[in-house]
Chain A
Amino acid sequence: MSEQPTGFDDLAQFKQTFFEECGELLGDLEIMLMDLQGNPENATTDDLNAIFRAVHSIKGGAGAFGFTQLVTFAHTFETLLDGMREGNVPVTLGCVEELIRATDILCDLVNAAKENANLPDNHGAEITAALVALTASGAGAGAFKNNLDANEDPKIEASDEDEITVFDVWFKPAAHLFSNGSDPIMIFNELQTLGQVEITPDVSGLPALHSLESEESFLAWALKVTTNRGQVSVEEAFEFVEDDCGLVINAATSPDFPLQIRDIAVAAPVNSVVTPPPATPLPSATAPGPQTPAAKSPSAPTATSIRVDLDRVDQLVNMVGELVITQSMLNQLTNVEEGGVQTSNPDMVKGLEQLNMHTRELQESVMAIRMQPVKSVFSRMPRLVRELAAKLSKKVTLVTSGEETEVDKTVIEQLADPLMHMIRNSLDHGIEGPAERREAGKPELATVNLSAEHRSGRILIEVSDDGLGINRERVFEKATEKGLVPTDIKLSDNEIDNLIFLPGFSTAETVSDVSGRGVGMDVVRRNINNLGGRITVNSTPGRGSRFTMSLPLTLAVLEGMVVAVGVEKFVLPLTSIIETIRPNAEHVHTLVGQGEVLSVRGDYVPVVYLSRVFAIPDAAEKAAGGLVVLVDLANGRRIGIVVDELLGQQQVVIKSLEPNSPHISGISAATILGNGMVALILDIDGLQSLPQHDMSRKKMTGENGGRGQTRASQTETGKVEQCQSVGIEKEVRRIMEDQANLGVSIPSQYGQKPEQAAAE
């Protein structure tokens, strides 16, 4: 499929680099052309140059690897862009739209080259024709230049290489020869590689010393070159200077052989004019002509950048993480409360404080290295919208903002799929066709907004549209049909909207080939949650929907709250913590088969005992009078986690348990605390679905790391997740009322009577 020019085998290793670069260039092109599309009349030369360069670079690399189909198309594309940047082809909206389509074709060709696939020869033929037509319509266009074929220097022709010939060469450089770095010595060296060379200088042109310009050439040379490489090779040696010298080359077989220098010196040189150039051949150092860098552009000074292998960056991030842990261990040593040694050495204390500060700064700087603008993900969306809109016969435009917002590279990579899926959904289900919109008094052109911004240490990404919004009756119907919610449940509008995130919701009866089969919003939510983020939806019927994703800026480090449960320590993600409370007994209630709930300002929040979930002996047994940390879950629900103690806030480096250890539900990862011990990072969303063992039957063995030997027996108090279903507060109230009405008794271990509970 690709025919590489000879000698290029070594360079195959750079294909990967080329494709990566193409990815970036194509992304840039998308964005630049979109901007241009919004404002074609005000296109600047800089804009057009940048667009030209992107296509030009793709063409250059493609040529090196022999991707002919890509090269050919890129060349046509580039030629039009050249015409536009030279001002020969006007920048009209129609023209820009062709450019956008051309970029799509370019993308196809790059992908085909990357996957070694074959596209039909006429792929993109209509676009090609359009590009050619636009180019031809330009002023002074002339014949469409398509001289791509010559990869070799056109001067190399087949010549009779075997015959040894003697060539007479007369060479008189123009005075300004040196001004472009040419050096006759180099030419003579080249000639010597062809065979034998005899050189005779002609100093007749040398002026008197006092009028000798040190940077001009006054010499000429007569050379006799004996070679079997043919005249063309001899001419080639002078290739770069042929326009700046008098050059005569005669072969032994020529009637002018041998050259008579005298004659030549008198006669005008055969080849080129040797008139001295204008009076100031050399740009002097003080000439203001050439642009000095400082004066170049009034725009902001550009930042230089370097490329670094991602592996090296990851390694750096890891090492800094270790440094943070070690530094934290050092701190521990002088922390009397934690069993450290009190130090009265002020230098030591100061040193440690500084170390603390520097380590923090170092960590922030290093984390910043991996930050990338979301632009790279956003840039794929316009094309998606274009294609879908066309397929669905809808008119849609995508407006993006905040592309420069930065996020860790690892997060960016995970963003693409959820974003694409949400946009697909929006176009498929949310946005109406043009006729429908017109009837509704909306503009025919629908808008999808994609934005990113930083907010309180996280990144907020929104996808919103001005379509129909969520069809609540339909959604509720579907949810009840699938048994995801009870039919008689009363839900608020927003709760209904969020039903679409329930697992099992999305199996569509009619599979639209746009949204695809079975990849529902529940998968999107799960993916976002796995990143430590959350996603919610807001919708106004008839006006549109808005999906909001909140993601952490980085996956490597977590702001955590360290808590103690028995002898164990766990880490809770700080951003999920709402508050910590010490509830009174009257605020703690029990539900049959549901476990305990806490009443907090009128709402009922399920209680999770870490000691029971993880079978930790000698830990807090009662929420009442104990410490309950109220946390926000990804699905918008809340739970209260019972702990023994809050040990403090700290930034922890996230360490994965896998692949060495098995995955544990309720635990997302681990970290190493300052004392060198491993602490587990809780997966609070996973916690709610875990059974809570009855700890009253557990025995402590007293061994280190000891856990009860007997298996905790399963009790009815297990399924906390029932409480997580939608509308819990109302559901809980309803259940409690029912219990009171029915006089149901609650298992005695909780010691509460239903009347007490209902009295709340």
Chain B
Amino acid sequence: MGRKILAVDDSKTMRDMVAFTLKGAGFDVLIAEDGQHALSVLGGDMVDCIITDINMPNLDGIGLIKALRSNPAHRATPILVLTTESDQTKKSEGRNAGATGWIVKPFSPDKLLATVNKVC
């Protein structure tokens, strides 16, 4: 299919698992370790979807989403945040910053793919 997706998480384990799942489903996957890294990885390019964790050093998920939404290139890019069940406030914080949707950790690979397919 050739859809391009950017996965941002400061945990290598998470990054590896998400990349593995998405690649297996035919996505081109870019990865980044935190919000700042994500912005530099994207550069001026567009992607079909972005998945990001919230708690990250340098620039956290919320900051990343806000930065993305302020950039015309990414104003309409679907963005999913990874949240934990007990983090309801973060969920709405994410939405208010401009996130399209969310995925609750821990998630199964099927759930991840289903959610991604929902938005992009």
Q: Contacts of B104 on A, CB cut-off 8 Å? A: 151, 153
User: Is B28 part of the binding interface, using a Cβ–Cβ cutoff of 8 Å?
Assistant: no
| Chain B positions within 8 Å of A6 at CB level | 108
Check A60/B84 contact, CB under 8 A, given A53-B56, A190-B118.
yes
Does the CB pair A182–B100 fall under 8 Å? yes
Q: Mark A34-68, 1 if CB is under 8 A from B, else 0.
A: 00000000000000011011001101110110000
Q: Establish whether residues B77 and A181, one from each chain, have CB atoms under 8 Å apart when the complex forms.
A: yes
Central interface residue in A75, A151, A240, A283, by most chain B CB within 10 Å: A240
Residue of A whose beta carbon sits closest to that of B66: A290
Q: Does B30 contact A (CB under 8 A)?
A: no
Pair B36/A293 contact, Cβ less than 8 Å: yes
CB contacts (< 8 Å) of A493 on chain B: these are none
Is B109 among interface residues, defined by CB-CB distance under 8 A? yes
Proximity string of chain B (43-59) to chain A, C-beta cutoff 8 Å, 1 when within and 0 when not: 00000000000011111
Q: How far is the CB of B59 from chain A (nearest CB, A)?
A: 6
Report if A296-B63 is in contact (Cβ < 8 Å); known contacts: A11-B109, A17-B12. yes
Kindly identify which residue among B12, B67, B110 contacts A7, using a CB–CB cutoff of 8 Å: B110
Q: By the criterion CB–CB under 8 Å, are A181 and B79 in contact? A: yes
Is the CB–CB distance between B98 and A181 below 8 Å? yes
Known contacts A180-B79, A180-B95; A290/B17 CB under 8 A = no
Per-position contact with A for B101-120: 1 when CB-CB < 8 Å, else 0?
11011101111000001111
Question: Could you tell me if A297 and B58 are in contact, using CB atoms closer than 8 angstroms?
Answer: yes
Verify B13–A18 contact, CB threshold 8 A: yes
Number of contacting residues on A, CB 8 A?
Answer: 61
- Chain B window 65-100, contacts with chain A (Cβ cutoff 8 Å), 1 for yes, 0 for no: 011011110011111000011100000000100111
By size class, the interface of chain B is 35 or more
Stretch at the interface among A142-150, A402-410, A526-534: A142-150
Q: How far is the CB of A38 from chain B (nearest CB, A)?
A: 22
Decide if A14 touches B55 in the complex (CB within 8 Å).
Answer: no
Q: How far is the CA of A167 from the CA of B37 in the complex (A)?
A: 45
Contact yes or no, A240 B59, CB < 8 A = no
Task: Determine which of A75, A151, A215 lies in contact with B75 in the assembled complex, contact meaning CB atoms within 8 Å.
Answer: A215
Closest Cβ of chain B to A225, distance in Å, is: 16
Chain A 1-44 near chain B by CB (<8 Å), digits 1 or 0 = 00001111011001001101100000000000000000000000
- CB distance A14 to B70 under 8 Å? no
Determine if B101 and A239 form an interchain contact, defined as CB atoms under 8 angstroms apart: yes
Give chain A interface residues in 79-127, CB to chain B under 8 Å: 79
Complex alpha-carbon distance, A79 and B87, angstroms: 10
A275 to chain B, nearest CB (A): 15
| B67 close to A291 (CB less than 8 A) | yes
Interface residues of A in 224-239 (CB under 8 A from B): 237, 239
Q: From B16, B36, B76, give the contact of A14 (CB < 8 A).
A: B16
**Among B56, B77, B84, B118, contact of A186 (Cβ-Cβ < 8 Å):** B118
Q: Is A207 part of the contact surface with B, judged by Cβ < 8 Å? A: no
Q: A181-B100, A186-B120, A307-B12 are in contact. Are A11 and B20 (CB under 8 A)?
A: yes
Contacting residues, chain A, for B59 (C-beta < 8 A): 291, 293, 296
| Contact indicator A283/B66 (Cβ below 8 Å) | yes
Q: Could you tell me the distance between the alpha carbons of A307 and B13 in the complex, rounded to whole angstroms?
A: 12
Q: In whole Å, how far is B79's beta carbon from the nearest beta carbon of chain A? A: 6
Q: Which residues of B contact A190 (CB under 8 A)?
A: 117-118
Residues of B within 8 A of A60 (CB): 11, 13-14, 84, 105-106
- What 0/1 readout, one digit per residue, does chain A (270-314) give for beta carbons within 8 Å of chain B? 000000000000111101011111001100001011010000000
State the Cβ distance, B8 to closest chain A Cβ, in Å. Answer: 13
Which residues does chain B contribute within 8 Å of A75, judged by CB atoms? 86
Choice from B10, B21, B24, B86 contacting A145 with Cβ under 8 Å: B86
> A88 CB to closest chain B CB, in angstroms?
13
**A183 CB–B CB distance under 8 Å:** yes
Residues of B within 8 A of A (CB): 10-14, 16-17, 20-21, 24, 33, 35-37, 39-40, 55-59, 63, 66-67, 69-72, 75-79, 84-86, 95, 98-102, 104-106, 108-111, 117-120
Known: A5-B106, A18-B13, A64-B105. 20 other contacts (CB 8 A): A7-B108, A7-B111, A8-B109, A10-B21, A21-B11, A21-B13, A53-B10, A53-B57, A57-B55, A60-B13, A60-B105, A64-B17, A75-B86, A180-B79, A186-B119, A291-B66, A291-B67, A292-B70, A296-B36, A296-B63
A-side residues, CB < 8 A to B, are: 5-8, 10-11, 14, 17-18, 20-21, 49-50, 52-53, 56-57, 59-61, 63-64, 75, 79, 145-148, 150-151, 153, 178-183, 186-187, 190, 215, 237, 239-240, 243, 282-285, 287, 289-293, 296-297, 302, 304-305, 307
Q: What are some 9 contacts across the A-B interface (CB < 8 A)? A: A10-B20, A21-B13, A53-B57, A148-B85, A151-B104, A151-B106, A183-B119, A296-B58, A307-B12
